[in-house]
Amino acid sequence: MSEAGSRQPEAELGLLDATMIGMGAMIGAGIFVLTGLAAEIAGPAAILVFALNGVVTAFTGLSYAELAASIPKSGGGYAFVREIFDDLSSFIMGWMLWFAYMIAGALYALGFAPNFLELLHVYGVVGPPEAVGAVALPVVDAAVPAAFLLAFVAVFLLAALNAVSTAASGSAETVFTIIKVGILAVFVVFGFASPMFSGAEFQPLFSEGSGAAAILPAMGLTFIAFEGYDLITTVTEEVKNPRENIPKAIFVSLIATVIVYLAVVAVAVGTLGAGGLAEAGEAGIATAATSFMPTGLPIIQNGGALIVFGAVFSTLTALNAVVIASSRVAFSMGREGQLLPTFGQLHHRYGTPFIAIVTSAVVMLGSVALPTQSAGNMSSLFFLLSFVIVNVAVIRLRRERPNMNRPYEMPFYPAPPILGIVLNLLLTGVLVEYLIRTDPLALGLSIGWILVGGVAYVVLNRVRSRSETETETETDSDVPAVTED
Amino acid sequence: MNSQDLRIAIVGGGRVGLRTARTLDNRGHTVIVIERDPVRSDQIADEYVATVIEGDATKPSVLKQVGLEKTDVLAALSADLGTNLATCLTAERYGSPIRTVMRRTEEEDDEYADLVDETVFPERAGARSAVNAVDPGTRALEDMIGDLEILVMEVTENAPVAGRTLTDIGLPRGSLVVSSADGDRIADAETELEPGHSYVVATEPDVEDEIVRLFRG
């Protein structure tokens, strides 16, 4: 008997699937976890925060569309930057993007935990959050580990699942995203209809004290809510008719996501008020829902439970998406020889990028010890920086590869990438300034990660040059045979 | 030469060039095609197997746009011998060590053996297919396998499957290890995949890149 293969190959993704991968990664992250935090910083202007971020990110979206349509590689922004930049710059890009995804994973896990506790509470498994909150102060040590433990377990299980199986991909994501958007639609409809919303209080739009300036740091913090198009470009090679579908998927997912965000944030601020939303933190949307959704329904009892379930479900699926995305970036870097070659190898039994997944998971597991806001800050910071580089890559490719066939050419070039660079840098600057004032831990860890990257780069180059001199003599047999005639 | 996947520039996106690009892309390599004809160039871009540079490859300013300094192999596969030779020589001049493969137009012609690393004569395979169709009773191997690829792959030292038996590894559905080391026996569950030895593997196109990555690292 010869060994026949038994694992399922990956399925092809249509426009809907690709769009849903992008939306799935965005929705669930920003909206459920960060709305409360955005409201805390910017007040009712949280709505503006999400709208303006949508505009800023659209410029980078154009760049991604142009690059993804002409360069058929699945590695996200890293693959495009690798195409035109030298070793060091592309390494830095990959290193930052990898980190951005890993920290995003921690962020989603941290968003998952309180929402899961809320879900348990709705069904009376654990005490009400008020009671927990009241007791929590004296016994902080006991309260914190519960959420921390949950976040830890969530990352561990999803990483383990992805490490041993390639099944959890494309088409499941479509179903997941439709469920998420459906639940949010229910939230929006009931919210607009609720008596709480008719007395909605959006004035003063800007929180007192900081005023309109508070929008910028809030934009920086919630920027991660728009990172989804990078995720689309990590799966481009599995997409059908990619030259049309990838730009479309990027734009459709971006526009749809912005619309969903605006409706949801408007309802949340309108019903709960910016203050109440801020208080609820990571469970902001869920808390708002419990306040106005009908109760006494069959089976689920409390209508709010549906939204809480949506939050739990969204954060988990988004977590799954970034577990995959982070490992793909590390895998691409390994294959390009920019991380140890083992990162670029498939597991002999599971066919997954095993080392890349395990390493990413370890960093994520360590990062769930971070405060939610720090995780959001760091992840947004690294996405902003990565997107700056992607925009530069578009400009460099236009200049140095004028003859490259570009199935999708962005309109009004060079305005979009330049605006993308300027606005992303502006937000980066504001975010860094905000971190210096409020979150030196996040800033320190971010700088630390870059420094570790620098050391890793030097060490890897040493290792490689040594192994290259060793194999110099046998390189001739190293090239796969080209079949003659 | 430090990446595990090759970066390959193909001159000429005609039938030979495009077919070659598809096959190499399937194996997970990075492919860049240079094609002069704008219509043809769009067709190739549509297939999404390669980045396409539209222009005359004999111009160094065009050829350099494939990123010669990091390209591992240049395959000059256009129907024009002059173009093929010129691009190979330009690539040798500007590329840091680059392997050149040139399509020759005469069947028995070792005129250029010293100038390029390898020459190919794709018409021979085409003629073989024609012979197979004319005389189907005795068919040469290449043409009887539909979409399947039958690969002879040498297991590399660092490959994920190196040193493991077939029971130990999980191959994707749509693939089959046919022979044991160096083709003397049919493979069975106990067959060990030894580095440095070659195995015959049949694979469907969908999973070819995964198979190549498992065997070649």
- B50, B62, B99: residue with CB nearest A403: B62
- A6, A347, A475: residue with CB nearest B160: A347
CATH number for the domain formed by residue range(s) B7-128: 3.40.50.720
Neighbours of A248 (CB within 10 A): 15
Chains A–B, number of C-beta pairs less than 8 Å apart: 161
* Chain A nearest CA to B137, separation (Å): 22
Q: What is the Cα–Cα distance from B3 to A344, expressed in whole angstroms?
A: 10
B191 touches chain A (CB under 8 A): yes
- Tell me, yes or no, whether A157 lies in a domain: yes
Residue B165, strand partner residues: B192
- Tell me, yes or no, whether A478 lies in a domain: no
Measured between beta carbons, which residues in chain A are less than 8 angstroms from residue B54?
403-405
Q: How many CA atoms lie within 13 A of A259 on its CB side?
A: 9
Q: What is the Cα–Cα distance from B154 to B145, expressed in whole angstroms?
A: 21
Q: How confident is residue A168, by pLDDT bands cut at 50, 70 and 90?
A: low
- Tell me, yes or no, whether A400 lies in a domain: yes
Neighbours of A485 (CB within 10 A): 14
The helix/strand/coil state of B187 is coil
Q: Cβ(B27)–Cβ(B208) under 8 Å?
A: yes
Q: In which residue are the tokens 């209080």 written? A: A201
Q: What is the Cα–Cα distance from A263 to A260, expressed in whole angstroms?
A: 5
Phi, psi torsion values for A297, nearest 5 degrees: -80, 155
Q: How far is CA A122 from CA A115, A131, A285, in A?
A: 10, 13, 14
* Chain A nearest CA to B216, separation (Å): 9
Q: Which of A380, A378, A394, A324 is nearest to A353 (CA)?
A: A324
Which H helix or E strand runs over B151? strand B149-154
Q: What is the Cα–Cα distance from B170 to A7, expressed in whole angstroms?
A: 7
* Chain A nearest CA to B159, separation (Å): 8
* Minimal-distance CA residue of chain A relative to B71: A83
Q: Give yes or no for residue A483 having a pLDDT over 70.
A: no
- Tell me, yes or no, whether A484 lies in a domain: no
Predicted pLDDT of residue A126: 64
Domain tally, chain A: 1
Using the beta-carbon criterion (under 8 Å), do B191 and A3 form an inter-chain contact?
Answer: yes
Q: What is the Cα–Cα distance from A343 to A357, expressed in whole angstroms?
A: 9
Q: In which residue are the tokens 């000059």 written? A: B76
Q: Give yes or no for residue A458 having a pLDDT over 90.
A: yes
Q: How confident is residue A474, by pLDDT bands cut at 50, 70 and 90?
A: very low
Q: Which of B126, B169, B175, B183 is nearest to B27 (CA)?
A: B175
CATH number at A440 reads 1.20.1740.10
Neighbours of A399 (CB within 10 A): 10
For an interface test with A, which of B39, B48, B155, B216 has the most A Cβ atoms less than 10 Å from its Cβ? B48
Amino acid in position A216: L
Q: What is the Cα–Cα distance from B139 to B49, expressed in whole angstroms?
A: 30
* Chain B nearest CA to A479, separation (Å): 9
Q: Which of B103, B98, B68, B67 is nearest to B84 (CA)?
A: B103
Q: What is the Cα–Cα distance from B76 to B86, expressed in whole angstroms?
A: 9
Measured between beta carbons, which residues in chain B are less than 8 angstroms from residue A351?
170-172, 210, 214
- Tell me, yes or no, whether A3 lies in a domain: no
Question: Would strands B7-11 and B73-76 be described as parallel, antiparallel, or unpaired?
Answer: parallel
* Chain B nearest CA to A383, separation (Å): 25
- B125, B189, B217: residue with CB nearest A1: B189
Q: Give yes or no for residue A92 having a pLDDT over 50.
A: yes
| pLDDT tens-place string over residues A253-300 | 889 989 998 998 888 888 888 888 888 877 788 788 877 877 666 655
Using the beta-carbon criterion (under 8 Å), do A345 and B168 form an inter-chain contact?
Answer: no
Using the beta-carbon criterion (under 8 Å), do B164 and A348 form an inter-chain contact?
Answer: yes
B206 touches chain A (CB under 8 A): yes
Extents of the domains making up chain B:
7-128, 149-216
Percent of chain A with pLDDT over 70: 82
Distance, C-alpha A188 to centroid of its chain: 23
Measured between beta carbons, which residues in chain B are less than 8 angstroms from residue A243?
45-46, 48
Residue B35, strand partner residues: B54
The helix/strand/coil state of A353 is coil
Residue A453, strand partner residues: none
Measured between beta carbons, which residues in chain A are less than 8 angstroms from residue B189?
1, 3
Which H helix or E strand runs over B216? helix B208-216
Q: What angle do CA B141, B145, B148 make, to 5 degrees?
A: 125
Q: What is the Cα–Cα distance from A393 to A388, expressed in whole angstroms?
A: 9
Measured between beta carbons, which residues in chain A are less than 8 angstroms from residue B69?
none
Q: How confident is residue A1, by pLDDT bands cut at 50, 70 and 90?
A: very low
Token code pair at residue A200: 């909605």
Residue A4, strand partner residues: B176
Q: Cβ(B21)–Cβ(A44) under 8 Å?
A: no
Amino acid in position A6: S
Measured between beta carbons, which residues in chain B are less than 8 angstroms from residue A337?
2-4
Measured between beta carbons, which residues in chain B are less than 8 angstroms from residue A73?
30
Q: What angle do CA B23, B25, B31 make, to 5 degrees?
A: 115
Q: How confident is residue A426, by pLDDT bands cut at 50, 70 and 90?
A: very high
| pLDDT tens-place string over residues A435-454 | 999 889 999 999 999 999 99
* Chain A nearest CA to B107, separation (Å): 10
Predicted pLDDT of residue A193: 83
Q: Give yes or no for residue A133 having a pLDDT over 50.
A: no
Predicted pLDDT of residue A478: 43
Q: Which of B172, B197, B195, B204 is nearest to B183 (CA)?
A: B197
- Tell me, yes or no, whether A474 lies in a domain: no
Using the beta-carbon criterion (under 8 Å), do A237 and B48 form an inter-chain contact?
Answer: yes
Q: How confident is residue A316, by pLDDT bands cut at 50, 70 and 90?
A: confident
Q: Give yes or no for residue A339 having a pLDDT over 60.
A: yes
- Tell me, yes or no, whether A481 lies in a domain: no
The ipTM assigned to this model is: 0.85
Q: How many CA atoms lie within 13 A of A305 on its CB side?
A: 14
Tell me: domain B149-216, CATH 3.40.50.1450, correct? no
Structural domain span for residue A191: 15-458
Measured between beta carbons, which residues in chain A are less than 8 angstroms from residue B56?
none
Predicted pLDDT of residue A34: 82
- B50, B168, B189: residue with CB nearest A348: B168
* Mean pLDDT for back-to-back runs of 10 residues, chain B (217 residues): 76 93 90 95 90 95 92 94 94 88 84 87 84 76 69 86 88 85 78 87 84 86
Residue B11, strand partner residues: B34, B76
Q: Give yes or no for residue A227 having a pLDDT over 50.
A: yes
Neighbours of A201 (CB within 10 A): 12
* Chain B nearest CA to A445, separation (Å): 30
Q: Give yes or no for residue A206 having a pLDDT over 70.
A: no
Mean pLDDT computed over A78-82:
91
What does the mean pLDDT of chain A come to?
81
- CA pseudo-torsion sign A435, A436, A442, A447: positive
- A2, A337, A405: residue with CB nearest B42: A405
